């Protein structure tokens, strides 16, 4: 069994430790330079409808916060499976800002959503997915981290499936009343329709 490590940058649900499904080695705060986040419409059989999930695209003017997960190379196929509909892309050490005492492995990746041919850009947001993402940012970066997520993500102006009480997202999380109120207020600020 190899102990070789890889790293992957999480900018959405991977920011939340409670959604990780491998026995990862470590996870720590990081920022990725040269990309911005956006909502991208996707046809996802699991949800039996047309929804929007997070992705990133090159943007030299932007730096986004997230987390780097250090994991065993042998676990990478499981992460690839978790990130169905995304492709794993190699990133350079120079693109990541991390604490100086952190030693990064040679191979670093980020998962970028595949383009869906003919997909319209009006897929609804999924509240249970957003809850997992926003809770991760709050846990790691505080209330300001939730605001950063909203401010550095494009395309919030769309409808939302309010599935918090019966989560469709398979890695749904439980929220405190404070979290629910904060997340709902941020979504209204972002212009989400029906939030």
Domains parsed from the chain with CATH numbers: 5-190 (3.10.490.10)
Please give the chain's pLDDT, 195 residues, in tens.
568 999 999 999 999 999 998 889 999 999 999 999 999 887 665 555 678 999 999 999 999 999 999 999 999 999 999 898 899 999 999 999 997 788 899 999 999 998 766 555 678 899 999 999 999 999 999 999 999 999 999 999 999 999 999 999 999 999 999 999 999 999 999 999 776
In angstroms, the CA 189 to CA 151 distance is 10
Q: What one-character DSSP code corresponds to residue 168?
A: -
Task: Quote the pTM value.
Answer: 0.92
In angstroms, the CA 28 to CA 71 distance is 12
Torsion of CA 175, 180, 161, 78, to 10 degrees: -30
């Amino acid at each position: 069994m190899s102990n070789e490590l890889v790293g992957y940058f999480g900018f959405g649900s991977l920011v939340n430790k409670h959604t990780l499904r491998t026995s990862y080695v470590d996870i720590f705060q990081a920022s990725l330079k040269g990309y911005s986040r956006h909502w991208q419409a996707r046809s996802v059989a699991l949800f039996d409808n047309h929804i929007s999930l997070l992705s990133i695209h090159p943007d030299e003017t932007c730096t986004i916060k997230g987390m780097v997960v250090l994991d065993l190379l042998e676990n990478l196929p499981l992460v690839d499976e978790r990130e169905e509909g995304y492709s794993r892309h190699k990133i350079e050490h120079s693109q990541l800002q991390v604490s100086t005492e952190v030693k990064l492995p040679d191979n670093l990746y980020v998962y970028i959503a595949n383009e869906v041919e003919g997909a319209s850009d009006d897929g609804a947001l999924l509240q249970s997915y957003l809850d997992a993402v926003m809770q991760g940012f709050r846990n790691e970066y505080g209330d300001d981290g939730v605001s950063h997520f909203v401010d550095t993500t494009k395309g919030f102006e769309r409808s939302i499936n309010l599935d918090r009480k019966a989560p469709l997202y398979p890695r749904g999380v439980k929220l405190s009343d404070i979290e629910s109120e904060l997340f709902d207020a941020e979504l209204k600020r972002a212009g989400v329709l029906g939030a």
